[in-house]
Structure 1
């Protein structure tokens, strides 16, 4: 494998284009072959990036390349690989033997992630590669969130931006195609202590990976741009490699010239112009299954359809409310529900116990898109608790109930906070972000309550305790009380009855919140016992509830 300058060949598989934090605190550009160890014996900790994704596009490329070129045959092979990173020499041989490197050069005979057929299109600025770069309409409305027009981009940054455009491509105007997992798809990355552990944690076994496509192995099938397709590739006529290497956008870069990268400030070869055309491959996201993306299951007329979760559909502020769906499933396989990414499912069911990790951190990332418009990013890293498969069903049921009950309180807090501060007729003019922030703050401030609760329930079940015995009820009651008090406190922090023109409106809103906190519906959702009256379960406005709410109001 050739050495040369850091940008030489501009090859995704062999070039040193990956800016990486090493274990000695230094930052260095490395090649794919060095993600386990560098040639100087340093350990890469994580990959870095200069785009708004913070390096997630580069990380996804690494996962896709390793998934395709060295998937583990068995779970034992995966476990061995987790604790034994490959040397640069070994990984270099694997790359060479794959025969794929010649197809991944940015300016080669088959330019990577590009379509030479658009060479006759009019040239436009390289800034069109960037998802957050504004269009003319956005500029005219002064809605630019990127903040600058980029005219010259260095080779590593072009490689990153081009790949990100292809894998996250949002829906747009006529002929603007999206990725196999939709426009602005949500990704969940399992994080390890090193870059290699992170990459390897997100790799599926060979049989499971190949089953996501038609199992073709020839380069012309594996690499979509060798024979650029403009039809609708499906898993029945294309291999699973398209999930990481698809090219829904038809793009061609101009040849590099000397200059200064306006992103990094580094002198060297830069790209200034690109050409683009519409009507690339039309991937149907309900047919493909991306291993890093969580999915919805919708059931209509008895038929279950699986659709990828998108960044634009995520609630404002990723938090423990997303425990269900990002880490654990909801609903059975043949019914409607949500399910985590395939890699997360594999970790939860087997790999967590195999690696003896009590918790695992998951990085959530997506571009938040509204059709062609990119509004921003969704990004968060959260710890998730390892639960033995023997008690996972009981644990998941309890967590699901708690999340649903807390979600009801979050919605009520949001609604009543707005009603207390604004006249109902004026609510439609209140910015959506205001209500979103109320809910986001609530979930953030209740997270320290949920984490120890989850661990106590896990330990109780693992120790042989029943999911419905008094110990669990006591834990649920304590959590419900603490979460309810948090809702009341946040309402009082935002709403001051003495600073409003309508005190009655504040009193009524607070009373409604209290009735919800202590009412039967929320208690029932949490899994708590509800007082019976005359042999029937009370409503949320039982005498006991009214008494408790009255005490809180006074």
Structure 2
């Protein structure tokens, strides 16, 4: 049997260099300036590996304040410094052998063997399929797949726990430059105040101690930050798993890493799993990299946010970045901390700042697909951010009103005034989706222009006097953007010239009502103008026939 496989001393991190070359590097090499990004070959394993590294950095060399954080952002630690900081925690990085095993149960579990492909969240539920993508993994590949499952575990049946944030959680990372290197991406998201020690290691890495099992029939327990170290948020172990290692007599390559890695001495084809792993009530934890929400304004309970579709658009933007936008949604602490404090320190140009949102889109807690999106991040100072967020909320609220009126108008044009058609139907759902997609580029362009105007006013000390001017300049432009897109989509979905004679009057009236809404008429029109801070039109400018019916 080869000596235990330690991630502390092996080249196991798959990365892409600035040259485009892929290679495996050691943990101590992550500050190399030529490493562009992690590159496992899968976006979900890339995301989970980044989270693990951010958490491991927080525990080993994490900052206690902005000054400490900024120093290491500007002057990354050397390989020798990193290896010295990692050394006390080396026993948490051993994948096999007789002692504690990386992200695995302490007990030598017995039971049926499960194909290793089941470690991947998007693997088919039928484990007896003959056509598998991942039949055998190297120890490096198995470590990456295992930490990904433990980080993102979806519902797995009775007793098979979901991850600390539920299945396929949404993660948001700050991207500090147009093309940051790996160190910059990781360190900019490292939280403060989570540094650990040898004495607290068993409370940080759950595989170092007995598993806190959760079978209610066997005095199982829940696990909250009151029971363990808060940093365990990065190293949750909801699934009880033991990998099964076997000799790689055929010198087979890893099905995850392929030619990137030489054939390993040992491979993993199966693993044993048992129910009732660690039970992390998601309402008791706040993961530093995830946004949270509450279902009602009066609720104290905050829950991790999940994606409902594979598209992350600008209507999600405010909840992912703003601490003041809504009492129902709170951005990830990493994003909030950067926006209110760290952005000013590093001096990057604001147009380079972005957030990367990533997670599994879920349908009734079942993963559909892994979604990723890069969204602009405007961050200057708390007061400027607050002013910009106020405008952004108004713009999004106005767009939402426009999308609803558009959907209602198309419904009437196609099916009649009294038709009962689900707004999520194929036709109406696609109309709404197209509206949000077609207005997205305009939204970010308008938001950037607003940001520049607000910054200029703040720097001149004239923001209080220029608020009305800024709103009067920029709000009508956004109004015209959404009006133009809405009418264009209506004309394509319900062209009047092609209308059924019985529907012609409805189609003409529906389009007219949609147009009037964008002129501030009717209940929805008034709400739209209020959202944008625009004065309502003269009530004598139209007659009773001009008042739109709200859809």
- Asked if TM exceeds 0.5, the reply is yes
- The reply on whether 1:11 has 2:6 as its aligned counterpart is yes
Alignment of 1:226-375 (within 5 A): 226=208, 227-230=210-213, 231-258=221-248, 259-266=252-259, 267-268=263-264, 269-299=266-296, 302-311=298-307, 313=308, 317-330=311-324, 336-357=327-348, 358-359=350-351, 360-375=353-368
Say if 2:17 and 2:34, in contact at 8 Å, map to a contact too: yes
Q: Following the alignment from structure 1 to structure 2, what is the Cα–Cα distance between the partners of residues 431 and 52? A: 29
Q: Following the alignment from structure 1 to structure 2, what is the Cα–Cα distance between the partners of residues 10 and 510? A: 67
* Structure 1 unmatched ranges of 5 or more: 1-6, 140-146, 535-541
Say if 2:415 and 2:503, in contact at 8 Å, map to a contact too: no
Q: Following TM superposition, by how much is the alpha carbon of 1:549 offset from its aligned partner in structure 2, in angstroms? A: 8.5
Assess, with a 3 A threshold, how the Cα gap between structure 1 residues 523 and 369 changes in structure 2: closer, same or farther.
same
Q: Following TM superposition, by how much is the alpha carbon of 1:11 offset from its aligned partner in structure 2, in angstroms? A: 3.3
With the length of structure 1 as denominator, give the TM-score of the two structures.
0.84
- The reply on whether 1:111 has 2:95 as its aligned counterpart is no
Q: Following TM superposition, by how much is the alpha carbon of 1:485 offset from its aligned partner in structure 2, in angstroms? A: 0.7
Q: Following the alignment from structure 2 to structure 1, what is the Cα–Cα distance between the partners of residues 517 and 8? A: 57
Please identify, of 406-415 and 68-77, the stretch whose mean Cα deviation from structure 2 is larger: 406-415
- The reply on whether 1:28 has 2:23 as its aligned counterpart is yes
Q: Following TM superposition, by how much is the alpha carbon of 1:56 offset from its aligned partner in structure 2, in angstroms? A: 0.9
Assess, with a 3 A threshold, how the Cα gap between structure 1 residues 546 and 235 changes in structure 2: closer, same or farther.
farther
Say if 2:6 and 2:95, in contact at 8 Å, map to a contact too: yes
Match of residue 524 from structure 1: 530
Q: Following TM superposition, by how much is the alpha carbon of 1:277 offset from its aligned partner in structure 2, in angstroms? A: 1.4
Match of residue 110 from structure 2: 120
Could you report, residue by residue, the CA deviation over 1:101-136 in whole angstroms, capped at 9, with x for unpaired residues? 122211131111111436211112111111001213
Say if 2:134 and 2:255, in contact at 8 Å, map to a contact too: yes
Q: Following TM superposition, by how much is the alpha carbon of 1:221 offset from its aligned partner in structure 2, in angstroms? A: 1.7
Q: Following TM superposition, by how much is the alpha carbon of 1:387 offset from its aligned partner in structure 2, in angstroms? A: 3.0
Q: Following TM superposition, by how much is the alpha carbon of 1:299 offset from its aligned partner in structure 2, in angstroms? A: 4.7
Q: Following the alignment from structure 1 to structure 2, what is the Cα–Cα distance between the partners of residues 219 and 54? A: 24
Q: Following the alignment from structure 1 to structure 2, what is the Cα–Cα distance between the partners of residues 386 and 172? A: 40
Say if 1:51 and 1:161, in contact at 8 Å, map to a contact too: no
Please identify, of 196-205 and 442-451, the stretch whose mean Cα deviation from structure 2 is larger: 442-451
Q: How well do the aligned residues superpose, as a CA RMSD in angstroms? A: 3.1
* Structure 2 unmatched ranges of 5 or more: 214-220, 520-524
Say if 1:169 and 1:177, in contact at 8 Å, map to a contact too: yes
Say if 1:299 and 1:305, in contact at 8 Å, map to a contact too: no
Match of residue 483 from structure 2: 484
Q: Following TM superposition, by how much is the alpha carbon of 1:8 offset from its aligned partner in structure 2, in angstroms? A: 8.3
Q: Following the alignment from structure 1 to structure 2, what is the Cα–Cα distance between the partners of residues 526 and 286? A: 35
Assess, with a 3 A threshold, how the Cα gap between structure 1 residues 340 and 500 changes in structure 2: closer, same or farther.
same
Q: Following the alignment from structure 1 to structure 2, what is the Cα–Cα distance between the partners of residues 419 and 68? A: 58
Alignment of 1:533-548 (within 5 A): 533=539, 543=542
**How many correspondences in the alignment?**
513
Match of residue 92 from structure 1: 83
Q: Following the alignment from structure 1 to structure 2, what is the Cα–Cα distance between the partners of residues 155 and 133? A: 19
Q: Following TM superposition, by how much is the alpha carbon of 1:410 offset from its aligned partner in structure 2, in angstroms? A: 2.2
Match of residue 537 from structure 1: none
- SS of equivalent to 1:20: strand
Q: Following the alignment from structure 2 to structure 1, what is the Cα–Cα distance between the partners of residues 428 and 34? A: 44
Q: Following the alignment from structure 1 to structure 2, what is the Cα–Cα distance between the partners of residues 436 and 29? A: 45
Could you report, residue by residue, the CA deviation over 1:314-337 in whole angstroms, capped at 9, with x for unpaired residues? x552122222111113457xxx42
Q: Following the alignment from structure 2 to structure 1, what is the Cα–Cα distance between the partners of residues 427 and 190? A: 39
Q: Following the alignment from structure 1 to structure 2, what is the Cα–Cα distance between the partners of residues 507 and 8? A: 78
Q: Following the alignment from structure 1 to structure 2, what is the Cα–Cα distance between the partners of residues 181 and 401? A: 30
Match of residue 203 from structure 1: 190
- SS of equivalent to 1:159: helix
Q: Following TM superposition, by how much is the alpha carbon of 1:403 offset from its aligned partner in structure 2, in angstroms? A: 1.0
Alignment of 1:135-174 (within 5 A): 135-136=125-126, 148-174=132-158
- SS of equivalent to 1:451: helix
Say if 2:174 and 2:189, in contact at 8 Å, map to a contact too: yes
Please identify, of 25-34 and 112-121, the stretch whose mean Cα deviation from structure 2 is larger: 112-121
- The reply on whether 1:410 has 2:400 as its aligned counterpart is no
Say if 1:330 and 1:338, in contact at 8 Å, map to a contact too: no
